[in-house]
Amino acid sequence: MAGSLLSFSGVGPGEKAKFLVLGPSDSGVSALMFRFSSLNLEHVSPLLLKATGISRRPASAAAGEVSRLALLRRWFFARKPDAGFVLTGFPATLLQARVFDEWLELRDENLTAVFSLPDASNPVVEHYRALGLLAEPGALV
């Protein structure tokens, strides 16, 4: 296991790795995060961000989507550009993936790799596969 993540350690001088873990946050992510712990990266998920603020029930699913994007946008643009992270549970839709790609482009940042859990949305997985960022299925085993 350590060898597979070590291959991502040489991201550049002064820059830390940036990973996405696609799939629902409740599908075994805690065990997966243990594997990233040695890399000293910030673990971020929409559930963690929502829990730190005042939780209000949105009037609709669309309002929930807007709220989720606003929370993640605030986190993304408030962090230092060279700070590494492991983002889980986001992006969950193709629209979110495209918005996240725009945020990365605005800050001239790149993802190190994208990992897919079994329950991940297929269009999102295919999006990152087409960009050449999707890690092979056994990379985290």
Residue 80 belongs to domain with CATH number = 3.40.50.300
Q: Of 13, 18, 12, 14, give the one whose Cα is nearest residue 135.
A: 18
Mean pLDDT of the chain: 75
Give me the percent of the chain exceeding a pLDDT of 70.
58
pLDDT at 9: 47
Query: How much is the pLDDT for 60?
Result: 64
Q: Which residues of the chain have pLDDT under 50?
A: 1-11, 13-14, 27, 51-54, 141
Give the pLDDT score at 109: 93
Domain that includes residue 16, residue range: 2-140
pLDDT of residue 89: 85
Q: Minimal CA–CA distance to 121: which of 20, 32, 50?
A: 20
For residue 58, the model assigns a pLDDT of 52
pTM score: 0.70
pLDDT of residue 76: 93
Domain total for the chain? 1
Whole-number Å distance between alpha carbons of 73 and 21:
17
